[in-house]
Amino acid sequence: QVQLVESGGGLVQVGGSLRLSCAASGRTFSGYNMGWFRQAPGKEREFVAAISYSGGTRRYADFVMGRFTISRDNAKNTVYLQMNSLKSEDTAVYYCAASRGSIMGAIDYWGQGIQVTVSS
């Protein structure tokens, strides 16, 4: 089993920045592609960003438009999502995810989710 625990969420002003962290249990962290999804009220869960096993490949949703950066530190079993220039529509519950294959395919493990609220 791999447990994913998100942290770093909260309330931020429009245009501000926030960094989410996702800490994973186990020694096999580097064997997983990692990613972030989000879900706003009344909307389906949507893909935000993904990063490959060693951090060499990154993928982002179009709506990020260069505002977000995903990174990972395998020595710390942690993946990060740096969010800049936040908009009100970024308000959602953000979920960390791990996959042995593509993040765009089957997800093996999900975090519990963490609230991000962007206000004016």
Whether the CB-CB separation of 49 and 72 falls below 8 Å is answered with no
pLDDT digits (tens, 9 = 90+) for 2-43: 899 999 999 999 999 999 999 998 767 888 999 999 999 999
Residue 104: C-alpha distances to residues 74, 85, 100 (Å): 21, 25, 11
When pLDDT is cut at 50, 70 and 90, the band that residue 58 belongs to is: very high
Is there a contact between 58 and 51 (Cβ–Cβ < 8 Å)? Answer: yes
